Chain A
Amino acid sequence: MHKKTLVAAAVGLGLISLSACGTSETKSSSADSKTVTLVSHDSWAVSKSVLDDFEKQSGYKVHVLKDGDAGQAVNKAILTKDNPQGDVFFGVDNTLLSRALDNGLFESYTAKGLDKVGAAYQLDQAQHRVTPVDYGDICVNYDKAYFGKHKLTPPQSFADLAKPEYKNLLVTENAATSSPGLGFLLGSAAQFGDQGWQDYWKKLKANGVKVVDGWEQAYYQEFSGSSEGRKAGGDRPLVVSYASSPPAEVIYAKKRPSTAPTGVANGTCFRQIEFAGLLSNAKNPKGAKAFIDFLVSREFQEDMPLNMYVYPVLKGAKVPAEFTAYGPAAQHPETMAPGKIAANRDQWVKSWTSLVLK
């Protein structure tokens, strides 16, 4: 290594720092008590004006870190729990909750205004280590045009999907890698019991269920009800998606249709609840608490649906008209205790894989 080369290297590294001048440099916030750092998954979204309001009222600057999909974000938070990347975590759902709690990811905190949050969503009543923020339903969506054309009633329940008139119509996602795919499997396990779900899936398989890898493919390639799926020649009028997908179909249509092109099969839903929590060893616990209060405030709860396509947990929070008109939340969704999910999930996914994919 010659001295001259070192000089060249130094020049190169200098260039790097120069090229960085343009980036919005966000300083590491750990030591700064005026900043609160939120760690979340990639789907986190909020209107700028609403976040600005929080910053104005609380005096904290919010720094957001996105850390991959929901599973990754939770796992990374657990790995770094002794020296966390932020103060508050949003986005752990009921399928991952036990893993987070058992690993001591969160400290107890009772949010201001928690009394106005539906008790059904509070899955850690005893200790309040997590605060519910939103919920959503994973449900089968159907293509209205197809069922209208074929004079066929859309399926309404898990059991319907295995009936001969719906042969070769359903596409779902890989339960091992996709969150709606897993939700649909858990929903069937909640409905048919620990043993019964395997028989159910055998029937589904015999009835020609198609499994693709991820939601994007199922919805945009195989499903005949989405505008893109139609263009791609999708020929499956039933897809595992979300209760909030039909409103999104309407809101993001090129020309707004008068009714949604897709509907939700109400008896095929599995409920997901998302939580936020104060990270153990947070550098700014006060800021984190203020942010959790903000997450269950009316302003945030009413802003949330059109940003993340989920439903508010706050009683009396207004839901956008499109949601009530085209995709109301499911009436009687399947649910499952987080502890039970944690205990069985890996084994079920394994059995499901060998049963359905092999």
Chain B
Amino acid sequence: MALPVAFFALFFAWPVAAIVARGLKVDGAWQFGRITDVLTQPDIRHVLWFTTWQALASTALTLLLALPAAHVFARLDFPGKQLLRAVVTVPFVLPTVVVGTAFLALVGRGGLLDEVGGVRLDTTVWAILLAHVFFNYAVVVRTVGGLWAQLDPRQEEAARMLGASPFHAWRKVTLPALAPAVAAAALMVFLFTFTSFGVVQILGGPAFSTLEVEIYRQTSEVFDLSTAAVLTLVQFVAVGAILAVHAWTVRRRETPLRLVASEVTARRPRGAGQWALLAGVLATIALLLVLPLAVLVRRSLDAPGFGYYRALMNADGGTFLVAPIHAVWTSLQYAVAATVIAVVIGGLAAAALARRDAGRLVRGFDALLMLPLGVSAVTVGFGFLIALDKPPLDLRQSWILVPLAQALVGAPFVVRTMLPVLRAVDGRLREAAAVLGASPWRVWREVDLPLVRRALLVAAGFAFAVSLGEFGATVFIARPDNPTLPVAVARLLSRPGDLNYGQAMALSTILMVVCAAALLILERLRTDRTGEF
């Protein structure tokens, strides 16, 4: 427990507190009057309202579209399932600049919807909502699907034997067991969409503004740190409230479950209903997720003989001192480091939180760990700058700062994916092992680990994906000139000319492939024999 707390305090709480204090303290006196000043502005109130309702709508829509997919991935077996699981995670790592562009091909002028039905959604709220679904689909599929795959289907079957309809059995048996995972997924999606930045800007146009955009503007453009500080506090309060609601709903639902190996729960689809469900889910994925990605890939191939890809190999001296392709290597290194940090920190935190005797303090820490998802990257970046500037902790020019910042975002994922599974492990197993003389470490290794290995890998996959696609912190932290993939993409996109645009698309395609490959490898890492009891 000590390590996650220290990590969190040092790399999150302290920098954010430092930057907020800088904004709200004038000559050593707190200016709390600023809070009411800012909050009474109609513009700010409007921004708050929009931020909240679009996040709620996005979350609802994502759950609606992704829960059936979670079921299909958990319960049905079909060829190409692993590949598809990796593919649905790809959107999650793409830089928003690229996603915006790809998405316009779907909902924008001359896009698919325009050609088919004459519908254009760009600069409407619908485009924002759909893009949020595109981004967060994987969050639901992976967190909910991960647990669902390990639920014992025989319980539901028993209910059916006793005369319950399929839906009724699902509602009474499976849904309650899934509730914590669904709530966790909903929470993450909400936090992501609540702090959405790029998507809202690109697809919504300048008429829509979220709290995150406003904080960015006040910090980067206007340099009004006191307004930015107030808005950061507002974001804190909002996110804190959401976390409280979440904790309250989940706490009454978590019960030990019978977990079984996921390999035995999936079956080939049977009957018209299951086939129809599978077809529906595949169609949704094809339209909403694969199509925009396909547009990107097609654009990256527009030059004859893979011209754009070949252009990536040479440093043009100007935009890049090294060939853009080098960014792949940089990104992978950061991602590995960030994943290790996130899994260690998140894993330790989850283990501490899962203990039945965890006190109130520990539970409070659970909520705190989620806060980094709800604080804008620009706040954290500026905070790092003024907090971590003195030896022995002058990390401002150290490369480690980037994976550390990415791990801040990754660790909550690790906690959220591991916790439902860890809490579902029956404590009596541990007690039995302890009674038989196993040391606590051995209990963890022999009882918990086999059961949570899968969740651990899912979590690691998330942390890796988060790091690979992470753009905010990477941009806000000063770094020596070796760009990561998303940064390189943004840099190419910020210049006129066909070749630059093409290279940006090619690099985005490489990012997708790298991400999908990494996730596939993680899937393969699963040993075939998950614990047998």
Contact = CB atoms under 8 A, between A and B. Distances in A.
A336 to B, nearest CB: 17
A149 interface: no
A215 interface: yes
Count chain B CB atoms within 10 A of each CB in A65, A177, A215, A217 and give the residue with the most.
A217
Given A5-B348, A15-B340, A254-B303, A214 B497 contact: no
Nearest to B487: A42
A168 interface: no
Interface in B343-387: 343-344, 348, 351-352, 378, 381-382, 385-386
A139 to B, nearest CB: 13
Nearest to B334: A23
A191 B318 CA distance: 34
A47 B315 CA distance: 10
A28 B394 contact: yes
Contacts of B205: 211-213
Contacts of A26: 397, 399, 480
A216 interface: yes
Contact of A211 (B3, B206, B336, B337): B206
Contacts of B336: 19
Contact of B495 (A231, A235, A252): A252
A355 interface: no
A66 interface: yes
Interface in A1-47: 1-2, 4-6, 8-9, 12-13, 15-16, 19-20, 22-26, 28-30, 37, 39, 42-43, 45-47
Contacts of B201: 177, 213-214
A4 B397 CA distance: 33
Contact of A69 (B220, B303, B317): B220
Interface stretch (B30-38, B63-71, B101-109): B101-109
Contacts of A269: none
A4 B438 CA distance: 14
B340 A252 contact: no
A219 B496 contact: yes
Interface string A247-277: 0110111100000000000000000000000
A308 interface: yes
Interface stretch (B80-88, B417-425, B471-479): B471-479
B382 A64 contact: no
B97 interface: yes
Nearest to A64: B481
A215 B500 CA distance: 14
Contacts, number: 212
A84 to B, nearest CB: 10
B499 A19 contact: no
A16 B399 CA distance: 12
A248 B499 CA distance: 10
A28 B397 contact: yes
A217 B202 CA distance: 7
Interface in A80-113: 80, 83, 85, 99
B479 A226 contact: no
A20 B476 CA distance: 21
A196 B432 CA distance: 82
B481 A232 contact: no
A305 B500 CA distance: 16
A24 B320 CA distance: 16
Contacts of B221: 71, 176-177, 349
Interface SS majority for chain B:
helix
Interface in B267-322: 299, 302-303, 307, 315, 317-321
A220 interface: yes
A5 to B, nearest CB: 6
A165 interface: no
A251 B311 CA distance: 13
Contacts of A297: none
Nearest to A2: B440
Interface in A108-129: none
Contacts of A234: 109
B54 to A, nearest CB: 16
Contact of A48 (B206, B315, B480, B499): B315
A163 interface: no
Given A65-B478, A177-B217, A309-B495, A79 B202 contact: no
A306 interface: yes
A79 B378 CA distance: 14
Interface string B450-485: 000000000000000000000000011011111000
Contacts of A1: 1-3, 352
Interface string A303-326: 000111100000000000000000
Which range holds the interface residue count of chain A? 35 or more
Contacts of B439: 4
Which range holds the interface residue count of chain B? 35 or more
A216 B217 contact: no
A216 B101 CA distance: 9
Count chain B CB atoms within 10 A of each CB in A23, A215, A251, A357 and give the residue with the most.
A23
Contacts of A25: 399
A2 B441 contact: yes
Interface string A143-156: 00000000000000
B321 A48 contact: yes
B478 A16 contact: no
B340 A248 contact: no
A346 B222 contact: yes
Given A76-B385, A80-B386, A254-B303, A248 B478 contact: no
A344 interface: no
B21 to A, nearest CB: 12
A212 B108 contact: no
Contact of A85 (B202, B207, B223, B478): B478
Interface string B383-420: 00110011000101111100100000000000000000
A79 B19 CA distance: 10
A213 B318 contact: no
A346 B201 CA distance: 20
B146 interface: no
30 contacts: A4-B441, A5-B351, A16-B341, A19-B336, A20-B400, A23-B330, A24-B482, A42-B490, A43-B494, A45-B317, A47-B317, A48-B317, A65-B479, A65-B480, A65-B481, A68-B220, A68-B476, A80-B386, A212-B206, A216-B493, A217-B202, A231-B299, A232-B105, A249-B497, A252-B495, A252-B498, A253-B497, A253-B499, A306-B318, A307-B317
Given A65-B397, A245-B496, A252-B497, 20 more contacts: A4-B439, A9-B3, A23-B330, A39-B478, A48-B315, A65-B479, A66-B480, A71-B221, A72-B220, A79-B386, A85-B385, A176-B217, A177-B206, A213-B202, A226-B496, A233-B110, A249-B497, A254-B499, A254-B502, A307-B319
Interface of B: 1-3, 22, 97, 100-101, 104-105, 108-110, 201-202, 205-207, 213, 216-217, 219-224, 299, 302-303, 307, 315, 317-321, 329-330, 333, 336-337, 340-341, 343-344, 348, 351-352, 378, 381-382, 385-386, 389-390, 394, 396-400, 403, 439-441, 475-476, 478-482, 487, 490-491, 493-502
Interface of A: 1-2, 4-6, 8-9, 12-13, 15-16, 19-20, 22-26, 28-30, 37, 39, 42-43, 45-49, 63-69, 71-72, 75-76, 78-80, 83, 85, 99, 174, 176-177, 211-217, 219-221, 226-228, 231-235, 241-242, 245, 248-249, 251-254, 306-309, 346, 349, 357-358
